[in-house]
A and B are shown apart, each in its own frame.
Chain A
Amino acid sequence: MTASDAYKGYRGAALDTLKNFQAQVWNDVEITTSHGKYTGIILPRSETADPLHIVIKLRSGYNVGIAAASIEGITTTGRKEAHYKIPEKEFPFDPRKPRVKLFGTGGTIASRLDYRTGAVIPAFSPGELYGSVPELADICNLETEKLYGVFSENMGPEQWRGTAEAIGREVQKGVQGIVIGHGTDTMHHTAAILSFMVQNSPVPIVMVGSQRSSDRPSSDAALNLMHSVKAAAESDIAEVMVCMFGPTSDMYGLLHRGTRVRKMHSSYRSTFRTIGDIPLAMVSRETITPLRQDYRHRRSDKDVVVNTAFEEKVAIVYYYPNMRPDIIDSLIDNGYRGIVIAGTGLGHVNKPLYPALKRAKEKNIAVYMTVQTLWGYVQMYVYDTGRDMMELGVVPTANMLPEVAYMKLGWALGQTSDPAEVNRIMLTPVNGEITDREPSNGYLIFQGGIPEVEEFISRYRK
């Protein structure tokens, strides 16, 4: 054990006290203080915690912090070091079952405690997954590959490209389906960019994560994983999809099209929703039930097209009243090549921004309009202000979601700097990011309190 491991996370007065009494992390100790006695094992301390306390695990399993300043003596009686390891079992092979590849990028599909930060860190291997979710072996032969170990907010162009290329390789190798474990915060961003970077896939590409980490008994991770592996192994839908809980209950997952899905609640299990349309399918442990037929069907060829172009100098601007033109100006001055605006209502910004938008046009910067209402189309003809903005070169993007437009603009500008070509790419839908029509059930946010809604809620587990 290195010196830093011996006092893991301790600093200041707490570290001095440990050294003073020759006590180390994982020692079984009796601590005498000015106000009483404590018996237990010294635990590592989170680096973000204060330097004033020593943490011990009592015999009862509880942890308590003891003020270092009050400690009069520490007697070491033994040592017990934790060996946190998910039981690993070899994933069984069954020649009759489809081959599914699971890529890990991070997230909490499987995780363990991190003493450095006190938070959970992901753990991931076929053996570990089989050890914690043995049901997966009933569905497929699973291979795993850890691409990255980052939290979802740290995913960026490098990871998107790498993931797209890895998918391409696996399709060439002939897997029957691909699952991508991903943190949920930016899962819909990655789903969008993969929809553009990986086209014409013959097999399902399913993104999955969890809203409750797998170190909790009520975690949605295991069921999400089963649903996503089933969708990858068996479904006929060869698209980039997000597979997460339909209701908050442990009942079924939904397969959302990668270009129309969005995380809509900071913590609910059923946080992912298809916006402005309906999901592709429902998936339970037993069955996959398509909700529509106009999806790309599974094929037996390997004709996948991977295009990982991406221009990083693209920004998304969430418009607010009283926005000043300097926001746009600073993007122009910093060499940005594309801007997606999430405008109010049908796609509006205030008049003071016009000169800045005009400057952007003159500098050949691509500016696209989306709506911050998320549901509905941009329509810039209804009011004069919209027409004025189009004059200034702002291009409406129909019902493309702001985050999707951001991803697509980066992808388009990565391929060309010709404004007409960028325009063509932006406005030609790849897979549902712009739809011709919004079905009447594409916008359903039930309002609680209304008698008929309450009746529905009381009848169906949500």
Chain B
Amino acid sequence: MTPSEFRPFADMTPDDYAAVGFKSGLEIHQQLLTERKLFCRCPAGRYSDHYHAEILRHMRPTLSELGEYDGTALMEFKTKKEIVYRINRDTVCTYEMDDTPPFMIDEQALDIALGVALLYRCAMVDELHIARKQYLDGSIPTGFQRTTIVGVDGSVPYKDRSIHIIQLGLEEDACREVSDTGHQRVYLTDRLGMPLIETVTAPDMRTPSEVADVAQLLRRIVRSTGRVRTGIGAAREDVNVSVTGGTRIEIKGVPRIPLIPLLTYNEAMRQWNLLRLRDELHRRGITPESFQSRTENVTRLLKKTRFTPVRNAIASGMIVNAVRLHGFHGLLRWTTQTDTFFSREISDRVRVIACLTTLPNIAHSDSPSETLSSSEWQAVKKALGASEDDTVILVWGLDTDAAMGAGEIIIRAKEATIGVPSETRQALRDGTNGFERILPGPDRMYPDTDLPPKRITADRLERIRTTLPSPVWERERWYRELQLPPDVIQPLASSVFAGLFEQAVTEWKIDSTLAAVALIQWRKDLRRSGLDVSVLNADTMGMLLHAGHGQPGVRDGLRQAMRNVASTGSTNAIALPPPASDEEIGQAVSEARKQLAGLTVRKPEKSAEIRMGLAMKPLRGRASGARVAELVGFRKEGAA
């Protein structure tokens, strides 16, 4: 890669990523399939936008256990948000409202989490300590998430190496955000308190596609337990990315794994470009020490502007601050991500921290688009004493917001002289990312004084161990040995049917490909055809496979029986048709001959095949194709 450009996404090679020092780790959140929430007795997994009441809260930063304030906490406090929670009384109790202390941890959730930690081969924690992880964005009404580590230092095999699992946590889920405008943020509370596990990997992935791969692998592992939730929002990924010289950046809320490669690419590009921006600033002699800025209220100068956002702002009583960044000329147009410039970094900070959420929220003198007239820019620059080497940024809002906005512009510009600021960033649809908050550190952790430590006994771990599936990577290896169709190998390995498959193949001696295809492919086909396949659970499928054991023509019969069960929603339809007697087969064959005799066959060489098709019609699911073929004298081309 040339030192002056970052290659387009499609052209990047593993060597290119190695050259920039790409490193990435994952934090995967997965909801657990439990009956209740983690720290109260509300039902789990019931979502509705409908609500009966609202409550309003504010968040204040508090000291960490080691006596320090967390940076994110202070940032969120600066925003002075009013947080509104929507309460549905059927899914939320006074615990989630933070008006009742926690109940003891849900044992079902704890068992599942311990099981996953065992699958990751973690060092298990002997005594759980519930911690409070502060979130001052309001996404949890207490201002913290109750969370605990159940295992550390695990690993999963990937390619020819291992991915290190730093820790597995068990924690309560947060609210769903409804809106965030100005100084008010609104949340729905139904998801709040749902048990989820958080898997944290080391930054062991070296390319964006490896990150997606490992995300899929981890998902398959947790799904293999059959005790996690699936569907929209049940699993969410955060991705950590850094490049050489950059900083660990956390991209939050990646909704789908296939989006990971482009997101991580763009973040690597952003960091690489910010480091080049820093070099350019240093070349211009601008360092953290020599950095200069100046702010003036220029409302008076712009009263008659035709630039709509500023004109409207002034008309509604807002003020306009202008910030001069000494020596920054042209740098707000510095590319950071694909089609994204440094000005966005500044605009994001102003939007999030100063709560100036109506865009555009800044205008700057590097911009090629029309904003102020040139004479207005001249007047503003004059007021600030700005020269041609400088950049001037306007920000508008109510008194304190406009002041906060100017302050944030200066903070972010100064950070550019240092490099890549530690931030949590939000995944955006176009594959880029935007500022969400300052990256929180260990200072936001605090012991939960409401709950005592909980001992995890060896007996409990032993009991859980006996219920665990074999690891997906071992299953997948066995499936490959069985020569199963490639497209069913991964889904089957992480499926709830993996155990049934093993039983069907090893105990009942059912053809492995047939069992795998029935459990994965046919079930999926039926679902896609619009049928409710929930009735085709492990019990039902077990009965079907077992009933079909050793029966001729089982392939078609099994498929038909699955369809019957799914379409009637009842396992009464489970019985496979009785096998056809030789007599019946003979009758069907002669019937087929008769029918064929009454038809005009254009291609006589196909007669046997047509006869075969006619004879199979009444016998489908009841006789093996081979036996019928023998009687009708049909041998399929290429068949042995």
A residues adjacent to B (C-beta < 8 A): 33, 35-38, 46, 49-50, 52-53, 55, 57-67, 70, 80, 82-87, 112-113, 118-120, 132, 211-219, 222-223, 247-251, 265, 267-269, 448, 454, 457-458, 461-462
Contact = CB atoms under 8 A, between A and B. Distances in A.
B123 A36 contact: yes
Nearest to A114: B449
B24 to A, nearest CB: 18
B67 interface: yes
Contacts of A217: 59-62, 73, 134, 136, 142-144
Interface string B100-132: 110000000000000000000011111111011
A65 B55 contact: no
A268 B97 CA distance: 9
A33 B124 CA distance: 10
Contacts of B56: 249-251, 461
A462 B53 contact: yes
B149 A62 contact: yes
Interface stretch (B291-299, B386-394, B436-444, B603-611): B436-444
B184 to A, nearest CB: 13
Interface in B19-71: 52-67, 69
Given A57-B442, A58-B149, A60-B167, 8 more contacts: A33-B123, A53-B453, A64-B129, A84-B65, A84-B67, A112-B63, A132-B60, A217-B143
A25 B35 CA distance: 40
Interface of A, secondary structure class, is: loop
A269 B142 CA distance: 12
- Of the candidates A36, A49, A62, A119, the one having the most CB atoms from chain B within 10 angstroms of its own CB is A62
A433 B417 CA distance: 67
B124 to A, nearest CB: 6
B400 to A, nearest CB: 14
Nearest to A68: B126
A67 B456 CA distance: 10
- Of the candidates B59, B98, B101, B128, the one having the most CB atoms from chain A within 10 angstroms of its own CB is B98
A53 B441 contact: no
Contact of A457 (B52, B101, B141, B453): B52
B568 to A, nearest CB: 40
A38 B57 CA distance: 38
A315 B153 CA distance: 59
Given A62-B148, A64-B152, A66-B125, A218 B449 contact: no
Given A36-B123, A62-B129, A66-B126, A215 B55 contact: no
Contacts of A120: 449
Contacts of B60: 132, 217, 219, 222
B149 A64 contact: yes
A182 B364 CA distance: 53
A38 B153 contact: yes
A84 B453 contact: no
Contacts of A222: 60
- Of the candidates B61, B125, B142, the one having the most CB atoms from chain A within 10 angstroms of its own CB is B125
B577 interface: no
Contacts of B143: 216-219
B14 to A, nearest CB: 30
A144 B447 CA distance: 29
A247 B84 CA distance: 14
A216 B450 CA distance: 12
Contacts of A212: 98, 142
Nearest to A59: B442
Nearest to A448: B89
A169 B442 CA distance: 46
B305 to A, nearest CB: 34
B557 to A, nearest CB: 50
- Of the candidates B63, B64, B124, B147, the one having the most CB atoms from chain A within 10 angstroms of its own CB is B63
Contacts of B63: 84, 86, 112, 215
B445 interface: yes
B504 to A, nearest CB: 35
B59 A218 contact: yes
B173 to A, nearest CB: 17
A250 B58 contact: yes
Interface residues of B, number: 63
Contacts of B445: 57, 60-63
A368 to B, nearest CB: 35
A33 B59 CA distance: 40
Nearest to A33: B123
B51 to A, nearest CB: 8
A55 B129 CA distance: 9
Contact of A218 (B53, B142, B166, B441): B142
A52 B127 CA distance: 9
14 contacts: A35-B123, A57-B445, A85-B67, A86-B63, A113-B65, A216-B132, A222-B60, A247-B55, A249-B55, A265-B99, A268-B94, A458-B54, A461-B53, A461-B55
A269 B55 CA distance: 12
Interface string B430-467: 00000000000111111101001101000000000000
A247 B85 CA distance: 14
A132 B133 CA distance: 19
- Of the candidates A33, A64, A119, A223, the one having the most CB atoms from chain B within 10 angstroms of its own CB is A64
Contacts of A112: 63
A65 B127 contact: yes
Contact of B152 (A36, A46, A250, A251): A36
B625 interface: no
A166 B152 CA distance: 54
Contact of B447 (A118, A216, A250): A118
A67 B458 CA distance: 11
B127 A66 contact: yes
A63 B447 contact: yes
B149 to A, nearest CB: 5
A211 B100 CA distance: 10
A118 B449 contact: yes
Contact of A113 (B54, B61, B141, B447): B447
A127 to B, nearest CB: 14
A279 to B, nearest CB: 20
B169 interface: yes
B57 A250 contact: yes
Nearest to A267: B100
Given A36-B152, A219-B60, A82 B147 contact: no
Question: Which 9 pairs, one residue from A and one from B, show the smallest C-beta to C-beta distance?
Answer: A36-B123, A217-B143, A65-B127, A61-B442, A61-B445, A84-B67, A67-B126, A63-B129, A249-B56
Contacts of A248: 55, 97, 99
A213 to B, nearest CB: 8
Nearest to A45: B453
Nearest to A454: B52
Contact of B124 (A35, A268, A457): A35
A113 B129 contact: no
B54 A461 contact: yes
Nearest to B167: A60
Contacts of B62: 214-217, 219
Contacts of B98: 212, 218
Contacts of A63: 129, 131, 445, 447
Nearest to B125: A64
Given A217-B144, A218-B142, A267-B101, A61 B444 contact: yes
B375 to A, nearest CB: 42
Given A217-B61, A248-B55, A267-B99, A62 B131 contact: yes
- Of the candidates B94, B99, B446, B455, the one having the most CB atoms from chain A within 10 angstroms of its own CB is B99
A60 B442 contact: yes
Contacts of B446: 113, 215
Nearest to A112: B63
A64 B127 contact: yes
B57 A84 contact: no
A108 B132 CA distance: 18
Contacts of B152: 36, 38, 58, 64
Contacts of B125: 64-66
A119 B449 CA distance: 5
Contacts of A57: 65-66, 442, 445
